[in-house]
Amino acid sequence: MPPTALERTNGGLPGLGATYRLYPNVHLGEGCEIGDFVIIGVPPKGKLPGELPTIIGPGAVIRSHTVVYAGNVIGANFQAGHGALLRESNTIGDNVSIGSHSVVEHHVEIEDRARIHSQAFVPEYSTLKQGCWVGPRAVFVNTPHPLCPQVPRCIKGPTLMPGAKVGANATLLPGVTIGEHALVGAGAVVTKDVPPGAVVVGNPAQVIKHIRDLVCPVDGENPYAHLLGAVSED
């Protein structure tokens, strides 16, 4: 098959949809489940089909209408919802989940056990460390001055440290760091770094408490008690 040709499955294998498509140089691990109308290995602008290898580890479940560009390296047990979009050249660890209709732009680093819920937006040059959590419709931003001629010199997405959690509809501005196990409340607008273990809410987001002060309304216990020994009390 010529390298510019598009490969199409015939749906004859267990766990594989009848109409998904693979570009050349796509490598799927054992036991992957690929839904209908999924496209994997789309070449970015300026690259030929198959020029960038695309690697997806074993046990992935990629649901219908998801698009994965070329150059992604994805670990084991990856989960994608319906209609997710992953642009090129991302590094994604094991046991990562990306929800339906979420967008992950290019050159993003996502470590093991990170979870991104539905309709979230993660721009290029963002970093999501181990076990972090991004709520539905959260929006990350990476450009301090859109259309500025110097954008390529200062573009930088947010960084979520291990275990950081970002609530639904929150907005994170360029370059902010959300500290280890910190919690960003729903709808917050984060304009500066958040300390480890802090709980922030509002616009602009302000620290209102530490996660040691949180109480579950169901059982009256601290939901993060198991983490407190590893998080700063400042």
- Specify the residue for token string 């910190």: 182
Please say whether the beta carbons of 78 and 99 come within 8 A: no
Query: Whose CA is closest to 167, among 210, 120, 232, 98?
Result: 120
| Global pTM value | 0.91
- Ramachandran area for residue 52 (φ above 0: left; ψ -120 to 50: alpha; else beta): beta
pLDDT at 15 exceeding the cut of 70? no
pLDDT at 169 exceeding the cut of 90? yes
Catalytic site positions: 145
Q: What is the pLDDT of residues 98-157, one digit of tens each?
A: 999 999 999 999 999 999 999 999 999 999 999 999 999 999 999 999 888 888 888 999
- Domains of the chain, first to last: 1-107 (2.160.10), 131-234 (2.160.10.10)
Distance CA(76)–CA(54), nearest Å, equals 14
pLDDT-derived band of residue 10, with 50, 70 and 90 as boundaries? very low
Q: What is the pLDDT of residue 1?
A: 41
Q: What is the pLDDT of residues 62-109, one digit of tens each?
A: 999 999 999 999 999 999 999 999 999 999 999 999 999 999 999 999
Please say whether the beta carbons of 82 and 101 come within 8 A: yes
Query: Whose CA is closest to 88, among 55, 127, 136?
Result: 55
